[in-house]
């Protein structure tokens, strides 16, 4: 049975049988009557325990860096249009084999060239993130629907994973931002 999370809710992923491989799946519909397609980009920042920032550019998983050197995180590729039924972008995370130095993973979603295309999340409908158990036929574990709260924002910190006492937790963040992907990267300690 899937759990529907609200903004700010947290879930212990280690309760019962600890999860190994999970998928973070993103989907959306654009508002009817738009001009150009909406290109939403899912990205993940792997933050280290000491600084809470990325240690290297390779800790930034996105459309131009699909696989973390450890193999514990894999982005399945960029969907430049969305709007189709089902998940548009997927990031596969191996929680069991995550390097110990990684204590937090932030998942952000940005609109590619939002300023140039004059697009924002107010024009996007039915945006969601789902957490799937990749070891059990992609069984949906939880779902976080974004809602209508981001009418002028071009980026959203969707959710995060964080490690506490060797257990992994999931938090539905849902924080809108006027930051593009480069600004999110700088916030995580990277030159962009």
List the CATH number of the domain containing 115: 2.60.60.30
Mean pLDDT of the 102-110 span: 94
Asked whether residue 99 is domain-assigned, the answer is yes
pLDDT computed for residue 90 by the predictor: 94
- Please indicate whether residue 125 or residue 183 has the higher confidence score (pLDDT): 183
Mean pLDDT of the 95-118 span: 91
Confidence of residue 53 (pLDDT cuts 50, 70, 90): very high
Which residues are within 8 A (CB) of 56 and not within 5 positions of it... i.e. 6 or more apart?
A: none
> How do residues 161-175 score in pLDDT, each as one tens digit?
999 988 899 998 888
Q: What gap in Å lies between CA 109 and CA 150, rounded to an integer? A: 12
Is it the case that residue 81 has pLDDT exceeding 70?
no
Mean pLDDT of the 125-140 span: 88
Nearest to 87 by CA among 97, 98, 96, 76: 76
pLDDT computed for residue 62 by the predictor: 95
Confidence of residue 33 (pLDDT cuts 50, 70, 90): very low
Is-above-0.85 flag for pTM? Answer: yes
For residue 165, the enclosing domain spans 3-187
Asked whether residue 192 is domain-assigned, the answer is no
Mean pLDDT of the 40-46 span: 93
- Looking at the chain, how many residues does it have? 192
Asked whether residue 135 is domain-assigned, the answer is yes
Q: What backbone torsions phi and psi does residue 96 show, to the nearest 5 degrees?
A: -65, -30
Asked whether residue 97 is domain-assigned, the answer is yes
Least confident of 35-44, 61-70, 151-160: 35-44
Nearest to 27 by CA among 84, 75, 74: 84
What integer best gives the mean pLDDT of the chain? 86
Place of tokens 């997927």: 90
Contact (CB, 8 A) for 87 and 130: yes
- Kindly tell me the burial class for residue 138, based on how many C-beta atoms sit within 10 Å of its own C-beta (0-12, 13-18, 19 or more): middle
Domain count for the chain: 1
């Amino acid at each position: 049975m899937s759990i529907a999370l609200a903004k700010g809710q947290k879930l212990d992923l280690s309760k019962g049988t600890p999860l190994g491989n999970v998928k973070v799946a993103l989907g959306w519909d654009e508002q009817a009557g738009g001009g150009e397609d909406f290109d939403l980009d899912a990205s993940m920042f792997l933050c280290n325990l000491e600084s809470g920032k990325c240690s290297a550019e390779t800790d930034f998983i996105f459309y131009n860096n699909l696989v973390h050197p450890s193999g514990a995180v894999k982005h399945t590729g960029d969907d430049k249009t969305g709007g189709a039924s089902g998940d548009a972008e997927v990031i596969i995370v191996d929680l069991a084999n995550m390097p110990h130095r990684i204590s937090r993973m932030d998942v952000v979603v940005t609109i590619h060239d939002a300023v140039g295309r004059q697009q924002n999340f107010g024009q996007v409908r039915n945006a969601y993130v789902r957490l799937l158990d990749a070891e059990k036929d992609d069984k949906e574990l939880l779902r976080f629907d974004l809602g209508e709260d981001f009418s002028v924002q071009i980026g959203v910190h969707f959710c995060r994973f964080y490690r506490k006492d060797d257990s992994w937790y999931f938090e539905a963040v849902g924080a809108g931002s006027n930051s593009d992907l480069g600004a999110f990267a700088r916030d995580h300690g990277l030159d962009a």
